[in-house]
Chain A
Amino acid sequence: MVGPKGSGSPVRRAIGYTMTNKLKVESTLTLSAERPQNDFRTRIRRFFERYPPLSMIAALWLVFMIFVAVFAPLISPYDFTAIDLRARLQAPAFMAGGNWNHPFGTDDLGRDVLSRLIFSIRMSLLIAFLGTIIGAILGTSLGFLAAHFRGWIDDIVMAGIDFQASLPFFIIALAFLAFLGNNLVLFIGLMGIYGWERYARLTRGLTLAAMTHGYAVAVNTLGATPIRIYLRHILPNISSALIVNMTLNFPGTIILESSLSFLGIGIQPPLTSLGNMLGFGRDYLTTAWWITVSPGITIFLATLAMSILGDWVRDRLDPTLGL
């Protein structure tokens, strides 16, 4: 009765919106009572409900990218900086004029696009992972500090949160790079600052709420040190919200890094990243589009997969957080 076609009347749809789910649960319950538990089709259906194919494809794609990133030196057919001026701007293998020596073609200096792509994936993923982890640790610690000390420390953290939320981080990053110049360590640190305020706000709010819960009060009364309470007791309880935030932050970090590198103010040659490849290939759009399109598609698929997976993780871990 709750199929999308059956519930034609909008009234019923609006009222039934919350009730639908309950009804669904009840009907599956009666179904499973009537039929044997190990009905093959039911199990398949349940499996796909828990693990939707799209999310699983997204996960597989990310695993594949991580594999490529980790084993980059073993997989890549050439050195990503190796120049071969006799094979400049060669088309990919599937096009006229291409051959399988360079499956994805070559760039303006005759460097193998596939090899550069593999090492770019390695660099972009590394930066996104490091950035996400630094941001999570920084934000969570500041959130704990603010919740623990309250008073002026809380005020300072909150002012920092307000400041970061008041300006797009992209602009802050540009200002930093202009004033301080650019090197890899600074750049990764900058990616770590991106998004710390969301972890801090989450942690602060959830910790303040958790401190009133029975378990935190109990551990506190037993004489546990504050660090023990925060790390051993509260952190595991708020971790699902933090993990959800990490999965939402990750695609943002990839796009931030590749945008800056695309504009020529992020990762600098001889190092390469997806955005950097795209930015340099832009000059050859009319003659050699493959230099820009392959990293572009890679960024697109990576962020798309991470968003899909992030939505799924959010639904699994904490449905109340959902937009």
Chain B
Amino acid sequence: MSFRFIVRKIFRALLTIWIIVTFIFIVLRISGDSALLIYGPDVSAKALATLRKVWGLDKPIWQQYLIYVSSVFHGNFGNSYLDGRSAIRVVAERIPKTLSLMWVTAVITLLIGIPAGIFSALHHNTRRDRITMTLAVMGLSIPNFFLGVLLILLFSVSLRLLPSAGSETWKHYIMPVITMSTAEAAVLARFTRSAMLEVLNQPYIRTAISRGVPWKIVVREHALPNAAISIVTMVGFFIGSLIVGGVITENVFAWPGVGRLLVSSVANRDLAVVQVIVLLISLSMVTANLIVDLAYGWLDPRVRDLRSEEP
């Protein structure tokens, strides 16, 4: 992989992070007195004056911007006005719960979505394909929060089998994971199917078949690895939708993670916490996309050569 390609990608990622920080700065300034917004209305005039001084709100706008950027890089976002502790700590203690839910969901999604997509592609245009894809479209169309509510209605209210809120035991994981992975697996199945179909249509597959290579080996050795390359490009998108699905699902099942914190902070306009979470999410998204880009370039030499020539 060329050095230029890597540098280019890292530069792009840094640029995106810079745009996001700038975006938050602009929106914060549009929204009014940010000292007041960060600390909330019930704070003493002295504290406001101190924060204004710390953030340099009395200085010209370009200096404010520089001060803001440097405070972001020093991890100085102010305190959550709901519980008074530093916003970073408030967010950090919620992260493990969210990650544990995401790992389980990601594994289940991969285990269902990819085989379903491959199955559908190998039975292209038959009844099996149509049934799988109909299920996928239905899984896509049912909103996360409604599926969650339906599951609670069935398993908690009617059957009294599963707990509807909390995160203590493995039983607490069942419904949130089903809720999140339904839509994810549906998207993944559809994408895997089209990636497989595209590969199966390539001349090299026809060559392999006409050379007399057994069908199973054609699929395993020729089709799957090539389809896998384009499935890798989905990872960034996949993480993004996991985050969004997590925010909603955590709220449905009262899961004590970052997503629930985000929504309650937005509702209470606890801006320090919202800022930290938005930056955290963008940082992880940008990193994920960077890794995907690099992995893609490494897996598929055609891409990295093409892309490094791109203007």
Contact = CB atoms under 8 A, between A and B. Distances in A.
B140 A307 contact: yes
A285 B274 contact: no
B12 A14 contact: no
Given A13-B124, A285-B149, A286-B157, A168 B200 contact: no
B103 to A, nearest CB: 19
B157 A168 contact: no
A262 B147 CA distance: 13
Given A18-B201, A299-B143, A177 B149 contact: no
Interface stretch (A27-35, A77-85, A103-111, A178-186): A178-186
A114 B15 CA distance: 50
Interface residues of A, number: 51
Q: Is the interface of A mostly helix, strand, loop or mixed?
A: helix
B248 A263 contact: yes
Interface string A217-250: 0000000000000000000000000000000000
Interface string B246-259: 01100110000000
A262 B248 CA distance: 9
Contact of A14 (B28, B190, B209, B265): B209
Contacts, number: 158
A177 B274 CA distance: 10
B56 interface: no
A259 B249 CA distance: 10
* B: interface residue count bin: 35 or more
Interface string B193-220: 0100100110001100110000100100
Interface stretch (A89-97, A159-167, A187-195): A159-167
B285 interface: yes
Contacts of B251: 263
B122 A282 contact: no
B20 A264 contact: no
Contacts of A299: 143, 146
A292 B145 CA distance: 11
A300 B146 CA distance: 8
B248 A259 contact: yes
Interface in B152-170: 152-153, 157
B257 to A, nearest CB: 14
B177 interface: no
B45 interface: no
A86 B270 CA distance: 39
A167 B190 contact: no
Contact of A292 (B31, B149, B241): B149
B143 A303 contact: yes
B27 A180 contact: yes
A300 B142 contact: yes
B80 interface: no
Nearest to A163: B19
A216 B283 CA distance: 43
A278 interface: yes
A11 interface: yes
B269 A181 contact: yes
A73 interface: no
A178 B271 contact: yes
B215 A323 contact: no
A179 B31 contact: yes
6 contacts: A14-B215, A167-B281, A289-B157, A304-B137, A304-B138, A323-B194
